Structure 1
Amino acid sequence: MNTIEEEVPLGRRRRRRYSVEFKAQVVAACQGPGVSLAAIALHHQLNANLLRRWVEQAEGNERFLVARSEVSVPSAATPAFVSLPLETRNARTGEIRVEVRRADQSITVSWPTSEAAQCAAWLREWLA
C-alpha cells in the first residue's frame, strides 16, 4: 500500500504526505485498549511523535473523525477471559512451603498457615 501521495525525486528528501484515509486507519488501530502507539508507529514505519499528534488531532478535530468513520478498519478481537485451574496442594495440607534452589542444592521450609505472620517476618529477615 502506497501511503505517500506524491513520488519523491532522487536526491533531496521531501516531506512525506499521508492521505486522510491512511491517517484515519492508523489512528483507528490505536483506539483499542492496551495498544502501544509506538508499536503501531513501528508497524506502519511512522515516527511515534507524529502518530501521537494524529491521535490528538483526531480526538479534537471533527473533520478527522468524519474521515475516520468512513474508513472500514477491522477491530482487533478482545481476548476472552481464560480460566486456569490452580494447584491447591498447600491449601489442603494447611501449610506454607518455601523452596529455595541453588545449582544442584535445594532446601524446603514448611510453616503452618496459622503462623503466616511469623513466616513473613522470617522471610523478610532472611532476605535482608
Structure 2
Amino acid sequence: MIENGDAGLAQRIIASGYRNEEADDDPEDVERQLRGPAGFLATSRWLRDAFSELNFEVGESVAEGGLVMVAAVMTGKHTGPFNGIEATGRLINQKQVHIFTIAGGQIARHRAVRDDLGLLLQLGWRPRG
C-alpha cells in the first residue's frame, strides 16, 4: 500500500488515531505529522516522491497479541529530493523491521528499525570532517 498510495485501502486498515512514530518531526513539514490514514498517505507520498520504482520485499513476519513485526527490504531509484539530498538516480536497498500495533482490527501505531545511515551512504552522503 505504501508503494502505490491506495487511499481506499488506507481508510479501511489504518485507524483514525494512527501514529507513525518514524515520521519526520520537522515542524516545517506539517503534512508528515498528520495522524490517521492522512498521515500514512503523507508518508507514502513523501517516499514515492523521492524514490521511483519503490518496492517493499516482505521477508519474515510474526504476530503475537496486538503486535505484528515484519522484516522487509525497501528498494527504489532515487529520483526526487530526500532529506536534503537531490536526486542522484542511484538504486537503493535498505533493510528494515516494522512494528505495527493493531487495535480494533486496524493499524494504530507504527515503529521501525532501519539502516538509515546505510541508505544515506548509498545516496552519496558523507559526514563532514
Greater C-alpha Rg: 1
If each structure's helix is expressed as a fraction of its own residues, which one has the higher value? 1
TM-score of the superposed pair, with normalisation by structure 1: 0.19
If each structure's strand is expressed as a fraction of its own residues, which one has the higher value? 2
